[in-house]
Amino acid sequence: MRTSTSRDRERAPGGWPVATVSVLAVTAVLTVLQFPFPQVRLALWRDPDLIAAGQWWRLVTALFVQYDAVWQIVVVFACIAALGVVAERIFGHGWWLVIYLGCGVIGQAFGCLWEPPDAGASVAAAGLLGAVSAWLLSPAGPRPATAARIWGVFWPLVGIALTVKQDHQGPPLLVGFAVGALLLWRDRRRQVSDMVAAAGSR
């Protein structure tokens, strides 16, 4: 009989989305602080010249302050909350952080090439969207599958279009999709192996 693993418990439906809440809370605090203290944003944001001079950590810190109009900040935070909860239940806390931070850094790196100095978490949210899109296309995705798979195909196509347009949201969306698909494929293989092993032990 297969016992419950820490990975299974980490992904249990209804579990508290620790990574989503923690990252969103830190980002919200720093985003609010930038209004009375603009130096907070300037200390954290993506500045290509400073990054080229060796301040590479700005590729990470730029993810923790959203530099936009208030309504755009609300939209980005809502997307992170919604996508984050779903992605964390699918992939677990650890892989959520890998996808969020890894895709975010990739988005900021492309932003250095294609965009002026800026800051924001939308590139990290794009990575979560890509990973969730991979889940929508997988056997583990929601049922009925038809509508879900339409969205699962739609968002990677958007990622390709954004990348062609040199919008730095595109690459993290595509990388998130690739990482999500790889993790789901790995888990599917493990499930099949467990089933074969269980059948062989009877």
For residue 47, is it within any domain?
yes
Amino acid at 183: L
Number of domains present in the structure of the chain: 1
**CATH number of the domain bearing residue 125:** 1.20.1540.10
Distance between CA atoms of 175 and 172, rounded to whole angstroms? 5
pLDDT band at 132 (very low <50, low <70, confident <90, very high): very high
For residue 71, is it within any domain?
yes
148-193: per-residue pLDDT in tens? 899 999 999 999 999 999 999 999 999 999 999 999 999 888 776 6
Query: What's the token pair of residue 153?
Result: 């195909």
Distance between CA atoms of 23 and 5, rounded to whole angstroms? 25
Residue 69, phi then psi, degrees to nearest 5: -65, 155
Single out the residue of 61, 62, 135, 142 nearest to residue 95, CA to CA: 135
30-83: per-residue pLDDT in tens? 999 999 999 999 999 999 999 999 999 999 999 999 999 999 999 999 999 999
- For residue 168, what are the domain limits? 6-197
For residue 174, is it within any domain?
yes
Single out the residue of 58, 73, 72, 160 nearest to residue 105, CA to CA: 58
The pTM of the whole model exceeds 0.75: yes
Residues 103/169, Cβ–Cβ less than 8 Å:
no
The DSSP-derived string for 37-91 is -HHHHHHHSB-HHHHHTT-TTHHHHGGG---S-HHHHHHHHHHHHHHHHHHHHHH
| Chain position carrying tokens 């939308």 | 122
For residue 1, is it within any domain?
no
